[in-house]
Chains A and B, each alone.
Chain A
Amino acid sequence: MTLSTFIFKNALRNKRRALLSVSSVAASLFLLVTLQVALRELTLPVESAGAELRVCARNKVSLTNPLPARQRSIIEKIPGVEGVTSFTWFGGQFQNEGAMTFAQFAMDAKATRLVFTDLKLTDTELAAYQAEKSAAIIGKISADKYHFKVGDHFTLDSTIYPGSLEFKIAGIFSGTADDRMMMFHQEYLDESIGTPGLVGMWWIKVKTAEDMPIVIKTINDAFANTAAEVRAESERNFQLGFISMLGNIKTLIASISTVVVFTLVLVTASTMSMAVRERFRELAILKALGFRRRELFVFILAESFGLAVAGAIIGIGTAYCVYTFGDISKMTHGIFVSFEVTPHIMGLAALVAALLGIISAIAPSLAVARMSVVNGLKTLD
């Protein structure tokens, strides 16, 4: 019998306890991974390849205040600006469906490809979209979810503007940071509400990354002291602003994660002590046979580490499978659309498990180290 078989047999001598310990570690790590992924999804700015060259300009008062359409020609003339489109939240809902569906934005159809360089759409679909005023293009995720095909018609009731609009799908795109949204013609919206000359935001494409800070400053200065002062920022900062609005939710999830980890340590350490207490006599015999404290520590550590790692593999593996192959938007009633278990998070959970294995071994090892052989041999249970 080699030492590793000895450790292995010891770990499984009480199969039920080993199973229960592994299961409780697995359940907790599953939860930890879920919380960390949720935290990441909530705080992650939506990144896309074209984002470094895009500027978002909103009303300085707040995102919900509109901007005058007349600002457009001023922005277009700024050196370094390649394309400008309006970006107006329509807030449409399907009739009789209260829940949020997908975001729809009214934009300048001609500038769409210029500004959204990462948009993947066939030329025929783009041409069809630009040709017809009531045409719209929709991201692949939403198209799949609502079973939309090119040529479909549907009506959305706006929660922002009076009335509703009928759209025809001219194309299905992918490749943007958010392949859920729908884009349609700003003119179509304007006509339906009597052309008030207002837009939601401006999204601007700059020529090079060096132009970015200059363009941002020029836009901000251009509209200072006007009826509608503008706050321009890089797309990344704009997205980060959204996250800041979530407020204390982040702290809440982070503190729950801490509690989960703490509970995990507590329970596992207690199980480990239980397992060691049960075989005090055997460990005393090992001592009597000449095994050193260090070696006994390795026995206990290896066992506790092994149980924790087994739990980690099951817990993290289950989380990975559920969130990678399951329909997360159905599970969370549409709150989360993507729920990516990243290598980073899996690594973090594995690290927690490894530390757990080590910490749990400390107290029982100390007890064993302190025990005198005679007392250990006398122990009855």
Chain B
Amino acid sequence: MALPLKYNFRNVIVRWRATLATILGIAMVVAVYVLVQALAVGLEKSASNTGDPRNVMIVRKGATAESSSQVSLAQLQTIRYWPQIAHDENGAPLVSADVITLISQPRIDGRGEANVSVRGLTPIGLKLRPQVKLVTGRWFTPGKREVAISQKIARRFTNFHVGDSFRTAGNTLTVVGEFDGSNSAFDSEVWMDADEARSLFDRQNYSSLLVRVTSPQAAQEIITRIEADKRLPLRAEAEVKYYGDQTATAMPIRILGNFLATAMSIGAIFAAMNTMYASVGARTREIGTLRVLGFRRRSVLAGFIIEGALLAAIGGVLGCLLALPLHGYSTGTMSFNSFSETVFEFRITPWLAAKGIIFSVVVGVIGSLLPALRASRLPVIAALKSV
């Protein structure tokens, strides 16, 4: 089947003025779709970047967030000497007992306060999270009221840069370092010494334990052992899985993205139809000529659908390009899971961009279907006679 493809393709270029609005309209729809989905991807990515497959996380049974979990000193002492736990070069068990507290701090833009997660941890805790790297300054000294803050959080709150100090719980904390959490959940945290945090925030217990296991089999042993031991009201989980489950926060954003895409695409389909109908109407004579030249009805039909798809694909590519400058831009909102500020990046993956373009092509095909049908059904003689 011969297709008048060259004709359709050149038409998009020659009549660019008439089709520009449609292309731009579709580009906007795709840009919004890609950006909102990029937020969801960023949130999910931040969760998936967090866990280390060699680590096991232990929290109180029933706690949905680390900040509401409690692990007592006695429980820590019990677990610390289990044989499944790996040791460092000095023979110390690789167990990090952390304290998580939320502190309310003023935002940098002066628009009120928000909760920030403060994690109290030990040097072993730093060792267990190798993806977190110091960027400026130094780490906090155990025994001192010093904090190191994620660069991304530091940008969003007042007095969070190296050299600054801020007050909380009646005490002053000095910022001595800024770190980069490699897009993990730790990018939303303030880190300080565990015991200082316990005394500062009046906590007898720790919030969670993170342990490095000797082998994947040891991890499973710890999980089943804690599950079976009724004296330990705790729950152990692979760290990867623990953070993987936190992606639920991305759900509302996904829903919003899908809703926007649906509603906007309906509008875009109508607009595309309008353009295509007008373009078919204006080219009645040309279509008649094509038919006289021997192109069949179905070739004309296919040609016009392809023209619509091409038009929309240009819009799709343009939309992705419009969205691209925001790739890597970090933003933040309250996570309903941890109840604190969570920062994450717009992440436009190739797959997401491809989805955006496919989406635009679908809009184009649906929008051009009826006008193409009309074009293919024009009677040849009448079409040629029309002015």
Task: Name A's B-contacting residues (CB within 8 A).
Answer: 16-17, 20-21, 23-24, 27-28, 30-31, 34, 60-65, 91, 98, 100, 157-160, 162-164, 225, 227-229, 231, 240-241, 243-249, 252, 256, 259-260, 262-264, 266-267, 269-271, 274, 278, 332-333, 335, 380-381
Contact = CB atoms under 8 A, between A and B. Distances in A.
Contacts of B111: 244
Contact of B25 (A31, A163, A266): A266
A278 B281 CA distance: 10
A110 B270 CA distance: 60
B68 A159 contact: yes
- Most chain A CB neighbours (cut-off 10 Å) among B61, B62, B334: B62
Nearest to A224: B170
A159 B65 contact: yes
B21 A269 contact: yes
Given A62-B104, A256-B260, A91 B68 contact: yes
Given A162-B233, A271-B271, A260 B334 contact: no
Contacts of B22: 267, 270
Interface in B218-263: 233, 248, 251-252, 255, 259-260, 263
A61 B201 contact: yes
B74 interface: no
Interface in B271-294: 271, 273-275, 277-278, 281-282
A124 B233 CA distance: 40
A24 B277 contact: no
B28 A159 contact: no
Given A64-B339, A227-B202, A246-B333, A31 B252 contact: no
A267 B21 CA distance: 6
B41 to A, nearest CB: 15
Contacts of A252: 36, 39, 331
Contacts of B170: 225, 229
Contacts of B202: 227-228
A61 B263 contact: no
A157 B251 contact: no
Contacts of B169: 60-61, 65, 229
Contacts of B70: 162
B67 interface: yes
Given A61-B103, A162-B61, A245-B115, A20 B274 contact: yes
B73 interface: no
Contacts of B60: 162
Contacts of B32: 256, 259-260
Interface in B356-371: none
Contacts of A20: 270-271, 273-274, 277
Contacts of B65: 159
Interface residues of B, number: 65
Contacts of B67: 64
A259 B263 contact: no
B349 interface: no
Nearest to A25: B267
B92 interface: no
- Most chain B CB neighbours (cut-off 10 Å) among A20, A63, A157, A159: A20
Interface of B: 18, 20-22, 24-25, 28-29, 31-32, 36, 39, 60-65, 67-68, 70, 101-104, 107, 111-115, 168-170, 201-202, 233, 248, 251-252, 255, 259-260, 263-264, 266-268, 270-271, 273-275, 277-278, 281-282, 331-334, 336, 339, 341, 387
A64 B115 contact: yes
B104 A61 contact: yes
A381 B115 contact: no
B275 A62 contact: no
A294 to B, nearest CB: 27
For the complex of A and B, the 10 pairs showing the least CB-CB separation, nearest first, are A244-B112, A270-B21, A27-B267, A24-B270, A62-B104, A267-B271, A31-B263, A263-B28, A245-B334, A62-B102
B120 to A, nearest CB: 13
B151 to A, nearest CB: 17
Contacts of A246: 333-334
Given A27-B263, A229-B170, A159 B334 contact: no
A23 B266 CA distance: 9
A263 B25 contact: yes
A24 B252 contact: no
A247 B115 contact: no
Contacts of A244: 107, 111-114
19 contacts: A24-B268, A31-B264, A34-B259, A62-B103, A63-B339, A162-B62, A229-B169, A243-B112, A247-B333, A247-B334, A252-B36, A263-B264, A267-B271, A269-B21, A270-B271, A271-B271, A274-B278, A278-B281, A380-B387
A381 B282 contact: yes
A161 B98 CA distance: 18
A333 B255 contact: yes
A270 B70 CA distance: 62
A87 to B, nearest CB: 16
Given A30-B263, A245-B113, A270-B275, 8 more contacts: A31-B264, A61-B101, A160-B63, A247-B114, A247-B334, A259-B31, A263-B29, A271-B274
- Most chain B CB neighbours (cut-off 10 Å) among A34, A160, A243, A332: A160
A251 to B, nearest CB: 8
Given A28-B267, A247-B333, A267-B267, A16 B21 contact: no
Contacts of A264: 267
A178 B330 CA distance: 33
A16 B373 CA distance: 14
A262 B18 contact: no
Contacts of A247: 107, 114, 331-334, 341
B270 A335 contact: no
